[in-house]
Chain A
Amino acid sequence: MNALGFPILSIMLAVPLLGAMICLFAPGSEKRRAWRSRWVALASTLATFWLGVLLWARYEIGGPQWQFVEREPIFGRFEWAMGIDGIALMLIMLTVFLMPICIAASWKAIKDRVPEYMAAFLFMETLMIGVFTAQDLFLFYIFFEAGLIPMYLIIGIWGGKERIYASYKFFLYTLLGSVLMLIAMLWMAQEAGTTDIPTLMAYDFPPEAQIWLWLAFFASFAVKMPMWPVHTWLPDAHVQAPTAGSVILAGVLLKMGGYGFIRFSLPMFPEASAQLVWIIFGLSMVAVVYTSLVALVQQDMKKLIAYSSVAHMAFVTVGLFAFNRQGIEGAMIVMLSHGLVSGALFLCVGVIYDRLHTRDIDRYGGLSDNMPKYALLFMLFTMASVGLPGTSGFVGEFLALVGAYEANSWVAAVCTTGIILGAVYMLYLYWRIAFGTLDKPDAAGMKDISLREVLTLGPIAAVVMWMGVYPESFIAPIRDDVGVLLARIERANPPGDAALVMGAPPAAAESHAEPAH
């Protein structure tokens, strides 16, 4: 089994599921059920978080690549196979950390059909942890795809005015991306004769087939990520989803795309990854510049942050396909950092949305006067999003760009403009909301953040600083796994244009002139 003596990963999946069942089926009056499901949801997400902490504490850095492995062949064609490496561990930690915060953020904002809402979130948590722990190809697919159901309901039932359009778009876009991946998976399982992900990660598929397989997986992960030009579902989904839904969407669901690239595209199809890297670089460069400019002109706060997510995710893809350690580790840190920071920014939007019920930036202004605590926290997350040194954003983006520079200096140059543009749109947003004169009476009447809101934003702020000041805590678990990945893809590594090249020996005449200096 594992070092703990009990199947911790399965239990982490079961606890939220059990909570969801209690929320959904326990009888009682409407008021009582709402009250109970809030507490059940909080308790089960906190219990899962505690299990996650235990998991991290017991995770042996430098130990075997796959830890806490569980294997039960109960489905015939595929297995209940679970296990994590450092990369999965970090993403699980992100998930279990954000979930209690989401529940707390929905405590008062959601008044209608609370049991169903909490059940949807808990079900979502089970599926997200499942995606990161599954070690069987089809089990992964089931978790990956099943996440559409609760998110569809969350957007559609508790969303804003255009929620139905947004929920359809979210569902159908991501479904279309994923089904092609399923066909590729079926072929892979037949070709390799196994559905075990670790075995497949070491299996050499014929290079001609790799191209097709890579494209099929790319269709799925690019939509999920999302990459330009298939990102258009994201702004709609983000804007319409309730606050906590946006947090989960930006915080964890987008990371599934990046996780997919690390777990499938790179190690399983290294040759195809090297050949098709131009697609990734090209789309990422467009995304960084284009979506940053689009973010600049947004009037809707959530839409602005949604477009900034697309730009940040482009850093992840560039880093991942740089084929070097800095790039991949940087991409991982960007993912973690973006999960925290964009989640926190959505929470910040939620705080003022709950008070004024509008996301229109022009309706606010001068909030630093009447909401100083809020303005402080909001500023911290703005800076983290910009990538100020000392926050998590800096570490990730710096590493990812260093990696990208080694692979292709043009890509790095274009993507770096994204950091400048990011500073422009984020600071512009902050300026319009927090600074200026407090001349709008309804905005001036807003109270500063409550204890509950401090408790939701505070922990994220602490982790953002921690990751910015001492990123080693987060890089150490993934270092070995990135090493394994690099060893696997090294053979296909395309030559970079920024590597040091031995120059021609200087001509004799010039070498005479040299000593004169």
Chain B
Amino acid sequence: MDSLAIILPEVILTVGGLVLLLVAAWAGDRSADLIGRVCAALLLIACIALEGIPQGAPAAFEGLYRADTFAGFAKILIFAATAVSILIAPRFFRADGPMRAEYPILMLFSAIGMSIMVSAGDLMTLYIGLELQSLAAYVLASFMRRDTRSAEAGLKYFVLGALASGILLYGISLLYGFTGTTLFNGVAASMRVEMSTGELFGLVFVLAGLAFKISAVPFHMWTPDVYEGAPTPVTAFFASAPKVAAIALTARVAIEALGPATDAWRQIVIFAALASIALGAVAAIGQTNIKRLLAYSSINNVGFALIGLAAGTEAGVAALMSYMAIYVVMTLGSFLCVLQMRDQHGRPVEDIASLSGLSRHQPRIALAFMIFMFSLAGIPPLLGFWAKFLVFDAAVAAGLFPLAVLGIALSVVGAFYYLKIIKTIYFDDPAPRFAPATSLTENGLIAVAALLVSPLGYLLVPSLAVATGRAAGALF
């Protein structure tokens, strides 16, 4: 009974999702709008239910499932990002044909999967959560069935995702074989006694599988294609909620299960971090499609977030979670701006060149776009700077000077392509106008996101520090 109280948010979402599935089956696509709103409301209720979880005894089902402050913090981000991804969808899909009612429900199931991922206390729970999230995501990526790019994205995502799952499972089986348990605590206890070669291999395979999910270099290849092919609201979703879930999961596995082997995985994480930052920065320069560019930007940002993990300290994990919180706002804001890129007939355009001179036609959208771009580049006084500040602070505190210096120097390379977008919006001669941005929901969300990453966001820094500090404390 206690266990059920602990998984109350997931229970709410599951029951709600199943009921809505039936509603969708009977009422058809006419009910899509209503279902979308109910899904968003359910996610909100789940957020509130998180507060009701009894503190102090956060493990359910004999340690298979954790509902500690770390999971709580990640879940709030996941649910909020999912809700936003649901709310911004209808207008996009209406551009060709009716909105399908399954979209919000699939999002909801994916959110349940992510919620299980961040709460996993056992390698099997981890895998179940990951697969539930992924299966929903594969379908979402190919949601526009008639669009070949979308179908290709779904297929590619599925094939490569299955490969990564295989690698992950192989790692899990190695860890199980050499430690005799799948519980995170048990793995850690066994590693603390003695670290065998088999365990080391298991660690490498598990991290490789997870690196695929967070799209860290060298397992990033799917990201640009999937981001480009998937419908834009789905891309916004991929870039936000699953990223948070996968990063939080990686942090939990690295600290709770593989904590005694920190020195072993730190070099892997450092390599992945620097490689992601470098590749994300360099490969983005030549892109002409805004969604592809943002895909490389997300690879780049994951690299910075991993610097916090590389520190391997409580402050490092707190920095990691702060980074993800700020990153979610910035990236959702950017994709909301991308959603406003529609030609006069309402069809979405994705060329960076079509943004030329946006500042003359739609100065407010242009201003918001500029704020997000400078923030992603980490230029103060925008909040994106604070995210980078925290991870570098953690790296310096852990004595990782070469990592900090290289990482921050590479961030200058990354700044170049964000500047390119701002240049296109502000300096270039106007291209044909976009259709006016009329959606109240989307404009409102853009305004909120822009305000959050503007200097005003610094007023939230102390509360963010408290929340992430408590979250990170749960892992140590």
Contact B412 A76 (CB under 8 A): no
Query: What 1/0 flags go to B400-428 for Cβ under 8 Å of A?
Result: 01001100110110011001001100110
Contact A176 B412 (CB under 8 A): yes
Contact B415 A175 (CB under 8 A): yes
Tell whether B392 is near chain A: CB-to-CB under 8 Å: yes
> Knowing that A143-B381, A156-B426, A172-B419 are A-B contacts, what are 5 other residue pairs whose CB atoms are under 8 Å apart, sorted by A's residue number?
A77-B465, A148-B379, A168-B416, A182-B389, A190-B397
Contact B412 A179 (CB under 8 A): yes
B176 to chain A: closest CB distance in Å? 40
Contact A180 B408 (CB under 8 A): yes
Bound-state CA distance A180–B393 (Å) is 13
- Interface of chain A residues 299 through 319 with chain B (CB within 8 A): none
Query: What 1/0 flags go to A150-169 for Cβ under 8 Å of B?
Result: 00110011000001100110
Q: Contacts A146-B380, A179-B408, A183-B404 hold; do A156 and B427 have CB atoms under 8 A apart?
A: yes
12 chain-A/chain-B pairs, Cβ below 8 angstroms: A75-B459, A77-B461, A77-B465, A116-B363, A142-B380, A152-B422, A175-B412, A182-B389, A183-B401, A186-B393, A186-B404, A190-B397
Tell whether B385 is near chain A: CB-to-CB under 8 Å: yes
Tell whether B286 is near chain A: CB-to-CB under 8 Å: no
Contacts of A24 in B (CB 8 A): 367
Contacts of A182 in B (CB 8 A): 389, 392, 408
Bound-state CA distance A156–B423 (Å) is 7
Contact A180 B409 (CB under 8 A): yes
The 10 A-B pairs with the shortest beta carbon distances in the complex, nearest first, are: A76-B462, A142-B380, A179-B408, A186-B396, A146-B381, A176-B412, A156-B427, A145-B380, A76-B465, A146-B380
A85 to chain B: closest CB distance in Å? 24
Contacts of A186 in B (CB 8 A): 389, 392-393, 396-397, 404
- Interface of chain A residues 110 through 130 with chain B (CB within 8 A): 113, 116
Bound-state CA distance A288–B421 (Å) is 38
Query: What 1/0 flags go to B447-466 for Cβ under 8 Å of A?
Result: 00000000000110110010
- Interface of chain B residues 270 through 299 with chain A (CB within 8 A): none
Q: Chain B interface mostly helix, strand, loop or mixed?
A: helix
Tell whether B434 is near chain A: CB-to-CB under 8 Å: no
Contacts of A163 in B (CB 8 A): 427
Tell whether A74 is near chain B: CB-to-CB under 8 Å: yes
Contact A187 B396 (CB under 8 A): yes
Q: A-B pairs with CB below 8 Å: how many?
A: 84
Contact A176 B465 (CB under 8 A): no
Bound-state CA distance A488–B385 (Å) is 33
Tell whether A353 is near chain B: CB-to-CB under 8 Å: no
Bound-state CA distance A187–B396 (Å) is 6
Contact B396 A180 (CB under 8 A): no
Tell whether B157 is near chain A: CB-to-CB under 8 Å: no
Bound-state CA distance A77–B462 (Å) is 7
Bound-state CA distance A127–B367 (Å) is 19
Tell whether B323 is near chain A: CB-to-CB under 8 Å: no
Bound-state CA distance A74–B457 (Å) is 12
Contacts of B379 in A (CB 8 A): 145-146, 148-149, 175
Contacts of A430 in B (CB 8 A): none
When the two chains form the complex, which single residue of A76, A167, A180 contacts B461, counting CB atoms closer than 8 Å?
A: A76
Tell whether B374 is near chain A: CB-to-CB under 8 Å: yes
Contacts of A74 in B (CB 8 A): 459, 462
B377 to chain A: closest CB distance in Å? 9
Contact B461 A75 (CB under 8 A): yes
Which B residue's beta carbon lies closest to that of A153? B426
Contact B389 A138 (CB under 8 A): yes
Bound-state CA distance A277–B422 (Å) is 40
**Most A CB atoms within 10 A — which of B392, B405, B423, B461?**
B423
Contact A179 B409 (CB under 8 A): yes
B417 to chain A: closest CB distance in Å? 11
Contacts of B359 in A (CB 8 A): 113, 116
Which B residue's beta carbon lies closest to that of A76? B462
When the two chains form the complex, which single residue of B381, B385, B412, B465 contacts A172, counting CB atoms closer than 8 Å?
A: B412
Contact B409 A176 (CB under 8 A): yes
Bound-state CA distance A189–B359 (Å) is 40
Contacts of B404 in A (CB 8 A): 183, 186
When the two chains form the complex, which single residue of B385, B392, B465 contacts A142, counting CB atoms closer than 8 Å?
A: B385
Contact A172 B380 (CB under 8 A): no
A32 to chain B: closest CB distance in Å? 15
A230 to chain B: closest CB distance in Å? 14
